A and B are shown apart, each in its own frame.
Chain A
Amino acid sequence: MSNPYVPILFLLALGFVFAAGSVFTSLVVGPKRYNRAKSEPYECGIQPSPRAEGGGRVPIKYFLTAMLFIIFDIESVFLYPFAVAFDQLGLFALVEMVMFIITVFVAYAYVWKRGGLEWD
């Protein structure tokens, strides 16, 4: 086995076959009784509220969280190679990484002070 990722594809295939198979089986085996109320959005029994196509507008906070996630996730991914090669790289890498973390921390403090981390 030359490529280490090929066995993962086996597991992927097994998982997909199982998931698709059981969903398909339930489509075939399950009953079908049409009822107009059943195909309406569930809102605890009241008349469904009108809604824009494609989801409409959602609070900007979710977008902000996603943007912050990209920033800080990239930071943590940058820390991985540093951590793995730490013993070989020596003191130089330690100093560099502390500098890097401080730089990102400035951005973090800025976001905090501007209220980017508040959730009301």
Chain B
Amino acid sequence: MKKQSFETVVADHGPTVLRVCLAVLGPGEADDAWSETFLSAMKAYPDLPADANVEAWLVTIAHRKAVDVTRAAARRAIPVDEVPEACAAPGADARDLDLVEAMSKLPAKQKQAVAYHYLASLPYADVAAILGGTTDAARRASADGIAALRRSYPGITEPGTTASGITGEQR
């Protein structure tokens, strides 16, 4: 099996990894985390087995970078009253902005579980491997996160039946 050029890796996975960084870190730190992720990945790329799941590998690196960035930010620790400004795509409507803001307010574990499972399409077993803990815990964190996000939609005030808890992959 042939290994693709790293340019192809960036083209294929760059947008998803950026979404993950935005979801987990917010706009202030996402660019730095993305850049450090791909630079680290490029260094290690020749040693990656040709049949490896490249996206899972990238998300694992992005997770470690995000943890580093968050720790560094905590050390700098300037308490602020507001959560960082929500960053949404240009042309995003009010509902998108609400959704992104709701995402930024989730507990870290839920935010990560939602990002890795729903934005990066990793099975819960892979999400659990990245986060530590069991596959069930990863599934629960993701379901709780989605339920909280659902409440940010206009007209929906209750968590309801959270169908998301059972629609996710059961792997």
Partners in one complex: no
